[in-house]
């Protein structure tokens, strides 16, 4: 994998640009531009350690969980709605779409659930459907969910707890752009555009909208 120059890293990454030449490149299922290497998260966001060496030690010991699983790769890319846990500190955080990505502390019970958007699906043998989620996960189900719908899943089992339709009246969050992190109702859905807002409406590309609940959000988002 090619090295990433610090100066070329996404602007929202909380790193010093001129201290060293290179920084870790995130790898995994999330897009590189919208994910953060686990080492950078532990050292520069949470500030649990002071050096890259200390961060690697903590990570490689399996002391950091992402979506309920131990992640021992310092390069592992943490992305939208991922849940990060450090059991030894009894603390958990969720990645939300604010200023690139921001991490909010969440109650321990919320560390066991996650919202995922269905971005694609395909039919398999046995009348089952494979649903491809925004974070790279795949879930098999006999239910007839639609692309752009959201699933509330249990971590790390991936058991489906609830389903939220991508439709007018649903509560949704904007994941990027000037309106990022705004949570409001969907007013109207056109081909590639969603109109959102209650008193004052605004237009957002459909790909940047994730349904998070019906009357209220199923997860903590602020």
Residue-level pLDDT at 13: 78
Per-residue pLDDT tens over the stretch 46-98: 999 999 999 999 999 999 999 999 999 999 999 999 999 999 999 999 999 99
Residue-level pLDDT at 2: 59
Checking if the pLDDT of 1 tops 60, the result is no
Coil vs helix vs strand at 209: strand
Residue-level pLDDT at 119: 97
Checking if the pLDDT of 4 tops 90, the result is no
Element (H, E) at 38: helix 38-40
pTM: 0.91
Residue-level pLDDT at 17: 67
* Between 11 and 58, the higher pLDDT residue: 58
Mean pLDDT of the chain: 93
Percentage of the residues of the chain whose pLDDT score is greater than 70: 97
- Residues 6 or more apart in contact with residue 200 via CB below 8 angstroms: none
CA dihedral 181, 65, 56, 8 (to 10 degrees): -20
Distances (CA, A) of 43 to 2, 59, 142, 157: 22, 11, 42, 28
Residue-level pLDDT at 125: 83
Residue-level pLDDT at 169: 96
Rounded mean pLDDT of 176-193? 95
* Between 123 and 20, the higher pLDDT residue: 123
Q: Measuring CA to CA, which residue among 175, 172, 193 is closest to residue 183?
A: 172
Per-residue pLDDT tens over the stretch 152-172: 999 999 999 999 999 999 999
Rounded mean pLDDT of 179-203? 94
Distances (CA, A) of 30 to 26, 42, 58, 110: 9, 18, 22, 21
Checking if the pLDDT of 18 tops 70, the result is no
Percentage of the residues of the chain whose pLDDT score is greater than 90: 80
Position 5 confidence tier, pLDDT thresholds 50, 70, 90: confident
């Amino acid at each position: 994998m090619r090295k990433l120059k610090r100066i070329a890293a996404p602007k929202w990454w909380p790193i010093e640009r001129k201290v060293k030449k290179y920084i870790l490149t995130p790898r995994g299922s999330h897009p590189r531009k919208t994910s953060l290497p686990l080492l950078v998260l532990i050292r520069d966001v949470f500030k649990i350690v002071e050096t890259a060496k200390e961060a690697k030690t903590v990570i490689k010991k399996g002391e950091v969980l992402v979506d309920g699983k131990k992640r021992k790769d310092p390069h592992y890319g943490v992305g939208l709605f991922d849940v990060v846990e450090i059991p030894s500190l009894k603390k958990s955080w969720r990645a939300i779409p604010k200023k690139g990505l921001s991490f909010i502390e969440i109650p321990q019970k919320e560390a066991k659930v996650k919202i995922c958007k269905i971005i694609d699906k395909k039919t398999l043998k046995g009348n089952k459907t494979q649903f491809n989620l925004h974070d790279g996960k795949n879930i098999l189900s006999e239910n007839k969910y639609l692309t752009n719908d959201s699933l509330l899943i249990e971590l790390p089992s991936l058991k489906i707890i609830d389903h939220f339709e991508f439709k007018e009246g649903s509560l949704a969050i904007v994941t990027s752009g000037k309106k990022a992190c705004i949570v409001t109702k969907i007013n109207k859905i056109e081909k590639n555009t969603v109109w959102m807002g209650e008193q004052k409406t605004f237009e957002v590309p459909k790909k940047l909208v994730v349904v998070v609940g019906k009357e209220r959000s199923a997860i903590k988002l602020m």
